[in-house]
């Protein structure tokens, strides 16, 4: 028999505040799709980074194709045939897509050749991207596509995917799975981390479960149900959401014929956006990444103040040219899709990150009330079950899902009158996703107006009272969730809607 493609034995990695991996063993066979399942902070990403050489283990051994190896850096990992798609992207903002891909490839290829290969792979796998675009102009979903294409271009023996579909549309996920199944049939091994249990059951034939950094079980996910996988991962099934009929009040957010030219050459023009969100309802916006979501969110949050004042109104007050701080004074709070860099300052502690959007711990004299900040941060950590070393832990030290819980918690805890959330449960485990969605519905039931932008159709159908679709900078009419279907929303994502044939909800 051929040796195992990858064999980890008793891998341990300690950090000052936590033991991320505690004696973990894992075996992946050639041509096997192997899932690694666990809650946020269970140690999954740390284990993948050890395999990829970006983190060094304190103890344990690694065999690759039966040979003992010490992988000291990602370059050595790639030389062995290991590629990784990170949950938090490792791209240079100021370089183009092609230049970013070129950095990780054999330098015998010219940039022109890499550009051609990116275009060919993108077209073949349905992950369309312009190789000439600078990365800073891309949405999160488009950055995800770049990471996947970059990994596929190395023709890996072992492909590590950390939440690869978290911001891809259902159609893009289907195309990606065709590619991954083809790779497996050709002998490539895949290590797959995802909180989407139905994806794991469809793709993988083996699964290793981690809890609190320790190995707690191995199974064949195709023979399990979502419920049994949830029990293996978190010890219970997530609670069902209680979604009551909306009791709507006054209009909180009104967007009137919003027209904005793109602010960069690769952006999207906003074309006559009409949108209303009332107190006590959740309105959702679906759409394929890169269709104007970012431009719309910037205009709503106050990061883009080029709109005419009356194009964006909060409680009837024109705010189109007010900045974020002025809008927060009216009760508008915002959760951006980029956790690190916009949602939180990576190197700053959680308590001090509160000051990005909260000013209630700053005294009239201008002094920061550190004790108050710590108390507030502890309250959010406790309420949203954030796994962290404490209020002073740097934002970048948290797992992606735990940082997301903290950022969402920070904005919900501010008791907003209008909450605008982009990708609320990106990379968050099933238990935490249920909690975040439950908190959003509780906020709505308390009379808050909520606007959710998400590429997760299941999430939108679970959360929203009404749905819109954004396509090429235009917004569809709204449709009541009860009348909407996945097929209809999928059609609308291509811009195919008929205003006359839709009854406004």
Q: What is the pLDDT of residue 169?
A: 67
Q: What is the pLDDT of residue 505?
A: 44
In this structure, are strands 332-335 and 418-422 parallel, antiparallel, or unpaired? parallel
- Of 102, 174, 94, 91, give the one whose Cα is nearest residue 140: 91
Token pair belonging to 462: 């679970």
CA distances from 318 to 282, 307, 325, 443 (A): 22, 10, 15, 24
Average pLDDT of the residues in 124-130: 79
Q: What is the pLDDT of residue 504?
A: 42
The phi-psi region of residue 81 (left if phi > 0; otherwise alpha if psi is between -120 and 50; otherwise beta) is left
Q: What is the pLDDT of residues 41-74, one digit of tens each?
A: 889 989 999 999 999 999 999 999 999 999 999 9
Is 435's pLDDT higher than 50? Answer: yes
Other CB atoms within a 10 A radius of the CB of residue 75 amount to 10
SS3 of residue 93 by DSSP: coil
Strand spans (E) along 290-446: 312-314, 317-318, 332-335, 418-422
Question: Is 175 or 324 the better-scoring residue by pLDDT?
Answer: 324
In this structure, are strands 206-211 and 214-219 parallel, antiparallel, or unpaired? antiparallel
Q: What is the pLDDT of residue 86?
A: 80
What percent of the chain lies above the pLDDT cut of 70? Answer: 97
Q: What is the pLDDT of residue 163?
A: 83
Q: What is the pLDDT of residue 501?
A: 45
Question: Is 429 or 463 the better-scoring residue by pLDDT?
Answer: 463
Q: What is the pLDDT of residues 164-202, one digit of tens each?
A: 887 676 777 887 888 899 889 989 999 999 888 888 999
Distance (Å, whole) CA 234 – CA 399: 16
Is 498's pLDDT higher than 90? Answer: no
Is 337's pLDDT higher than 80? Answer: yes
> What is the signed CA dihedral for 450, 451, 452, 457, rounded to 10 degrees?
100
Q: What's the DSSP call for residue 237?
A: P
Measured over the CA atoms of residue 11, residue 15, residue 20 and residue 23, the dihedral's sign is: positive
Distance (Å, whole) CA 336 – CA 314: 19
Q: What is the pLDDT of residue 500?
A: 37
Residues 376 and 351: beta-carbon distance below 8 Å? yes
In which band, very low, low, confident or very high, does the pLDDT at 458 lie, cut at 50, 70 and 90? confident
Residues in CB range of 187: below 8 A, 6 or more apart: 30, 31, 157
In which band, very low, low, confident or very high, does the pLDDT at 302 lie, cut at 50, 70 and 90? very high
Residues 5 and 26: beta-carbon distance below 8 Å? no
SS3 of residue 110 by DSSP: coil
Question: Is 289 or 293 the better-scoring residue by pLDDT?
Answer: 293
Q: What is the pLDDT of residue 62?
A: 96
Is 499's pLDDT higher than 70? Answer: no
Residues 57 and 133: beta-carbon distance below 8 Å? no
Distance (Å, whole) CA 471 – CA 219: 41
Q: Which domains does the chain have, with CATH numbers?
A: 6-234 (3.40.50.300), 246-331+417-505 (3.40.50.300), 341-415 (no CATH)
Residues 423 and 374: beta-carbon distance below 8 Å? no
Distance (Å, whole) CA 210 – CA 233: 7
Q: What's the DSSP call for residue 393?
A: S
Q: Which residue has the tokens 């699964």?
A: 207
Average pLDDT of the residues in 2-26: 92
- Of 428, 432, 430, 33, give the one whose Cα is nearest residue 227: 430
Q: What is the pLDDT of residues 381-415, one digit of tens each?
A: 999 989 888 999 999 988 888 899 999 999 999 99
Q: What is the pLDDT of residue 467?
A: 96
Is 362's pLDDT higher than 80? Answer: yes
Residues 459 and 467: beta-carbon distance below 8 Å? no
Q: What is the pLDDT of residue 503?
A: 42
Distance (Å, whole) CA 245 – CA 356: 34
Mean pLDDT of the chain: 89
Average pLDDT of the residues in 231-242: 75
Angle between helices 370-383 and 400-413 (to 10 degrees): 110
Is 129's pLDDT higher than 50? Answer: yes
Q: What is the pLDDT of residue 167?
A: 66
Residues 169 and 288: beta-carbon distance below 8 Å? yes
Residues 434 and 238: beta-carbon distance below 8 Å? yes
Q: What's the DSSP call for residue 220?
A: -
Is 328's pLDDT higher than 60? Answer: yes
């Amino acid at each position: 028999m051929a040796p195992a493609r990858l064999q980890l034995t008793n891998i341990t990695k300690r950090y000052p505040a936590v033991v991320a991996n505690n004696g973990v063993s894992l075996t992946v066979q050639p041509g096997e799709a192997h899932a690694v399942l666990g809650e946020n902070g269970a140690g999954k990403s740390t284990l993948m980074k050890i395999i990829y050489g970006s983190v060094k283990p304190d103890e344990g051994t690694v065999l690759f194709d039966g040979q003992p190896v010490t992988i000291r850096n990602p370059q050595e990992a790639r030389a062995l045939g290991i590629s990784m798609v990170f949950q938090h992207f490792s791209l240079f903002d100021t370089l183009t897509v092609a230049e970013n891909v070129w950095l990780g490839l054999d330098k015998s290829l010219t940039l022109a050749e890499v550009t051609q290969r990116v275009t060919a792979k993108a077209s073949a796998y349905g992950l369309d991207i312009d190789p000439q675009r600078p990365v800073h102009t891309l949405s999160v979903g488009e950055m995800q596509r770049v990471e996947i294409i970059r990994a596929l271009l190395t023709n890996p023996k072992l492909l590590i995917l950390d939440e690869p579909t978290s911001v891809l549309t259902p159609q893009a996920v289907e195309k990606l799975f065709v590619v991954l199944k083809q790779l497996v049939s050709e002998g490539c091994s895949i290590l797959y981390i995802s909180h989407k249990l139905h994806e794991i059951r469809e793709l993988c034939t083996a699964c290793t479960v981690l809890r609190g950094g320790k190995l707690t079980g191995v199974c064949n996910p195709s023979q399990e149900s979502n419920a049994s996988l949830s029990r293996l991962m978190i010890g219970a099934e997530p609670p069902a959401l209680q979604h009551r009929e909306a009791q709507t009040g006054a209009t909180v957010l009104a967007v009137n014929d919003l027209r904005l030219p793109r602010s960069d050459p690769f952006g999207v023009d906003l074309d006559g956006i009409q949108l209303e969100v009332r107190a006590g309802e959740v309105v959702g916006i679906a759409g394929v990444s890169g269709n104007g979501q970012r431009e719309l969110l910037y205009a709503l949050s106050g990061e883009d103040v080029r709109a005419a004042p009356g194009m964006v109104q909060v409680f009837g007050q024109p705010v189109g040219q007010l900045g974020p701080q002025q809008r927060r004074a009216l009760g508008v709070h915002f959760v951006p899709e980029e956790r690190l860099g916009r949602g939180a300052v990576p190197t700053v502690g959680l308590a001090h990150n509160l000051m990005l959007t909260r000013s209630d711990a700053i005294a009239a004299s201008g002094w920061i009330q550190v004790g108050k900040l710590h108390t507030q941060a502890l309250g959010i950590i406790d309420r949203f079950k954030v796994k962290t070393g404490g209020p002073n832990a740097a934002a970048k030290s948290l797992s992606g899902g735990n940082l997301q819980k903290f950022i969402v918690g920070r904005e919900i805890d501010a008791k907003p009158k209008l909450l605008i959330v982009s990708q609320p449960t990106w990379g968050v485990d099933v238990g935490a996703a249920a909690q975040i969605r439950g908190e959003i519905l509780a906020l709505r039931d308390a009379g808050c107006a909520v606007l959710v932008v998400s590429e997760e159709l299941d999430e939108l159908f679970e959360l929203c009272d009404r749905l819109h679709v954004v396509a090429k900078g235009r917004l569809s009419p709204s449709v009541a969730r009860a009348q909407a279907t996945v097929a209809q929303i999928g059609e609308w994502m291509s811009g195919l809607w008929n205003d006359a044939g839709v009854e406004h909800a």
